[in-house]
Structure 1
Amino acid sequence: MATGMTRHRVTRVRWNEGADGATTSTREDIVAREEPLEIRIDGTSWSVTMRTPGDDFDLVAGFLVSEGVIAARDELASLRYCAGFDEFGRREENTYNVIDAVLGRGAVPPTDAHARHSTTTSACGICGTTSIEAVSKQSRFEVADDGIRIDAGILARLPDVLRESQALFDRTGGVHAAGLFTAEGELLCLREDVGRHNAVDKIVGWAVREDRLPLSGTVLQVSGRASFELVQKARLAGIPVLAAVSAPSSLAVDLAAASGMTLVGFSRGASLAIYTCPERVLVPAVAGATAP
């Protein structure tokens, strides 16, 4: 069984077409795992997030980028799993649910460790921060001047490519995905998690550990909606185009516009909606059509 999955016995109920009543059956089902991950910085506990185990180092590295702590591979000296402690302060066996990040030169150590030390659910990307100003950190990378151009047809196909590559979703039906693409539609990296924010952090963490930041000339395609937090994470990684299969929020649109980022919503194969910076998306004109 893969790291991100577990088995549970379930009772299935099915109604018989054209007949009264239903039948039941018991079988094993595969469920996406969700477990806590404690993140420490230089040995000090900083945050606890709920995630799907797998690509944990990417998750932590990406989370540090999203929090404005690091922006380059050299600013992260090391990542390691370590044992936790029980309620009595006794050292427990390594459960692979605690990671200590040792910062390198150039990193910006968080000053709000006590305020940030709270449980972040897999559905929330900014829980535990003290104010909206703390979230709106100034990125070290600019996306407004990125020269990327992407064909609208390629952009519209990215959700299908993302879905076809989701191995964990195929088994469980219960995870989000984020995929990083080139302007030509080549998939560079895909990550899955019960939390859509975690999936994006895993992408960004992969990039920083591969010394790829800023992610100029790339497109981030996500399942679900485009929230303020996802735009913020893309901005801090230097990603110029963010596309989602569902709707963006008003704050997401505002932040994308202020950052010079192209934000696309409702990207579903046959159509899409461009909310900000449409000049990056090349739309072929239909022969004989006239502008409204």
Structure 2
Amino acid sequence: MSRIAARRRVTRITVGEPPRRRADFLAAEEPLEIRVGGKALTVTMRTPGSDVELAAGFLVSEGVVHSADEFATARYCDGAVTTGDDGVSTNTYNVLDVALAPGVAPPDPSIERNFYTTSSCGVCGKASIDAVATVSRYTVDEDPLRIDPATLAGFPDALRAGQAVFERTGGLHAAALFDGGTGEMLVLREDVGRHNAVDKVIGWALLNDRLPARGCVLMVSGRASFELAQKALMAGIPMLAAVSAPSSLAAELASEAGLTLVGFLRGPSMVVYSREDRLALDGPSAIG
């Protein structure tokens, strides 16, 4: 199986000191081709691991599947092999074929990627912005989630504590799904791509029959983009929280859809951009 971290010799240089040569670890990045029914749909650069969840979450984000019973099977293609110097062929585990359940419509051709999806931007290669703004089967506007800000403030530390690969490489994004009622972390996934980490989390929810993810909070380690807000909505998640800033389009989408959007969640402070009624606030708001 592919590695999630790659070992490499490096030279560390500090001005005024002798150079130091040592082994270091880098976050692994390899292509994954996702096929549906044998037909290529997309190629994304990702950190190997949780590939079935990644494919499942991607299909949820694109509106292809909405529940576990619509996702039949997934298997690595035996033909995806590489031949080493010794002449021995090994499976690269970089091509995954998904079979949908009988009666489930195949992906619309409009969402097919025309070129590689980069690990930094999942929007690249989409036919149009209309393909991004897929209408979700779920609505979050009336989700009764209500959470204490003190509970929410603890999520970034829990996220960081669970990033095993990040501790070794320093080069991965993370996403996690929390139960808004208990504060329990339900699942955490890491990847070189922000959108991949979120798709892995959503894929976990799909495969565990937890969609829509009512009463949950999606926590991400970076910024909150339009696409991440859209992915939360597609999975029926009523709150998206990020340690960094949201984009203007993410805030606009959140306001229109009834998604609670929280940014700059660091320590005891945070900024709420939409649906602040889901946070249990004490006393009147200060005006400044």
Give the TM-score, by structure 1 length. 0.91
Deviations 1:211-250 (A, max 9, x none): 1100000000101100000000000000000000000001
Structure 2 Cα separation of the partners of residues 63 and 196 of structure 1: 12
Q: CA deviation at 1:185?
A: 1.4
What residue is the counterpart of 1:18 in the other structure? Answer: none
> Once the two structures are aligned, what percentage of the paired residues are identical?
56
Of 125, 130, 140 in structure 1, the residue corresponding to residue 127 of structure 2 is 130
What residue is the counterpart of 1:89 in the other structure? Answer: none
Partners of 2:111 and 2:127 within 8 A in 1: no
Q: CA deviation at 1:112?
A: 1.2
Q: CA deviation at 1:258?
A: 1.0
Structure 1 Cα separation of the partners of residues 34 and 2 of structure 2: 23
Structure 2 Cα separation of the partners of residues 290 and 51 of structure 1: 42
Q: CA deviation at 1:129?
A: 1.1
Structure 2 residue 104 is matched with structure 1 residue 107: yes
Of 190, 210, 221 in structure 1, the residue corresponding to residue 208 of structure 2 is 210
Look up the SS of the partner of 1:266 in the other structure: strand
* Cα distance change of structure 1 residues 125 and 12 upon mapping to structure 2, 3 Å threshold: same
Deviations 1:87-133 (A, max 9, x none): xxxxx752100000001145331221684242101111122111111
Structure 2 Cα separation of the partners of residues 93 and 39 of structure 1: 19
What residue is the counterpart of 2:265 in the other structure? Answer: 267
Structure 1 Cα separation of the partners of residues 79 and 120 of structure 2: 24
More deviation, 47-56/117-126: 117-126
Q: CA deviation at 1:280?
A: 0.2
* Cα distance change of structure 1 residues 277 and 235 upon mapping to structure 2, 3 Å threshold: same
Of 143, 147, 161 in structure 1, the residue corresponding to residue 144 of structure 2 is 147
Amino acid in structure 1 at the alignment position of 2:14: R
Uncovered stretches (5+) of structure 1, i.e. residues with no partner: 16-20, 87-91
What residue is the counterpart of 1:7 in the other structure? Answer: 7
Task: Give the count of matched residue pairs.
Answer: 280
Partners of 2:77 and 2:97 within 8 A in 1: yes
Partners of 1:83 and 1:93 within 8 A in 2: no
Partners of 2:80 and 2:92 within 8 A in 1: no
What residue is the counterpart of 2:60 in the other structure? Answer: 65
* Cα distance change of structure 1 residues 85 and 160 upon mapping to structure 2, 3 Å threshold: closer
Matches within 5 A, 1:13-162: 13-15=13-15, 21-84=16-79, 93-105=90-102, 107-112=104-109, 115-162=112-159
Structure 1 Cα separation of the partners of residues 67 and 285 of structure 2: 48
Q: CA deviation at 1:291?
A: 4.3
Partners of 1:48 and 1:120 within 8 A in 2: yes
Partners of 1:84 and 1:93 within 8 A in 2: no
Look up the SS of the partner of 2:124 in the other structure: coil
Look up the SS of the partner of 2:52 in the other structure: helix
More deviation, 192-201/123-132: 123-132
Partners of 2:173 and 2:222 within 8 A in 1: yes
Q: CA deviation at 1:84?
A: 4.3
Give the TM-score, by structure 2 length. 0.92
Matches within 5 A, 1:242-257: 242-257=240-255
